Amino acid sequence: MARITQVSDSAATPEANALFSAIKSKIGMVPNLYRVAANQPSVLAAMLGLNETLAGGGFDARTREAIALAVAGTNTCDYCASAHSAISAGLKVAPEAIKAHLAGRSEDPRTAAILKLSVDIVTAKGMVSDTDLEAARAAGLSEADIVETLANVVANIFTNYLNHVAETDIDFPVVSTTQVAA
């Protein structure tokens, strides 16, 4: 059971209800993560705004979802592993690729470089080494790619940590990060 309230439609402030309506119009439901964030509507708005802005960057949806999975796997966030596995499946990503992304791996060399950097950022708490950056550049990542990877990692760290603190009830088919890592 969640440790922070998952705001219901009936208990939502007018600001949260407006955001809920926008979410429902896009995906047909309001995931529990957003219901937790709605305890402070400005936080929910910021989360949605950051993700919307990042969607306009250079990475396609599959790459952003791969990063989300790698970060969820590294941070052992079962909520985000479950949500982003479902989203990735909806984007026609193969189940084996979803598992690989959760483990920070990819068969595609560019995606593999992005995921390696993502995992490096999370495990080093942002204090990546010169060697990590050199490896990313050697793999073909541009300065823009490095900055965009970092932005996507940070957006996902926020949701991972919010889920850890809240113990958000998983409202997607459950994926356990500990089973994937094994």
- Which CATH number belongs to the domain containing residue 152 in this structure? 1.20.1290.10
pLDDT for the residue 9: 97
In this structure, is residue 126 part of a structural domain? yes
In this structure, is residue 109 part of a structural domain? yes
Judge if 28 and 116 occupy the same domain: no
In this structure, is residue 3 part of a structural domain? no
CA angle 46, 51, 99 (to 5 degrees): 130
Q: In 10 A of CB 25, how many CB atoms? A: 8
In this structure, is residue 9 part of a structural domain? no
In this structure, is residue 22 part of a structural domain? yes
Mind listing the pLDDT tens digit of every residue in the chain (182 residues)? 899 999 999 999 999 999 999 999 999 999 999 999 999 999 999 999 999 999 999 999 999 999 999 999 999 999 999 999 999 999 999 999 999 999 999 999 999 999 999 999 999 999 999 999 999 999 999 999 999 999 999 999 999 999 999 999 999 999 999 876 54
In this structure, is residue 39 part of a structural domain? yes
pLDDT for the residue 53: 98
- Count: domains in the chain: 2
Judge if 142 and 68 occupy the same domain: yes
Judge if 131 and 162 occupy the same domain: yes
In total, the chain counts a number of residues equal to 182
Helix (H) or strand (E) holding 165: helix 143-166
The tokens of 99 are what?
């598992």
Judge if 29 and 112 occupy the same domain: no
**Is there a contact between 168 and 36 (Cβ–Cβ < 8 Å)?**
yes
Judge if 103 and 159 occupy the same domain: yes
Judge if 149 and 114 occupy the same domain: yes
Q: Where are the alpha helices (DSSP H) in the chain?
A: 14-27, 32-37, 41-55, 61-74, 78-90, 95-102, 109-123, 130-138, 143-166, 177-181
pLDDT for the residue 43: 98
In this structure, is residue 4 part of a structural domain? no
> What residues make up the domain containing 77?
61-181
CA–CA dist 169, 10 (Å, integer): 18
Q: What is the pTM of this model?
A: 0.96
Show which of 55, 72, 105 is a domain's final residue: 55
Judge if 148 and 84 occupy the same domain: yes
Judge if 109 and 22 occupy the same domain: no
**Is there a contact between 175 and 38 (Cβ–Cβ < 8 Å)?**
no
CA–CA dist 114, 41 (Å, integer): 32
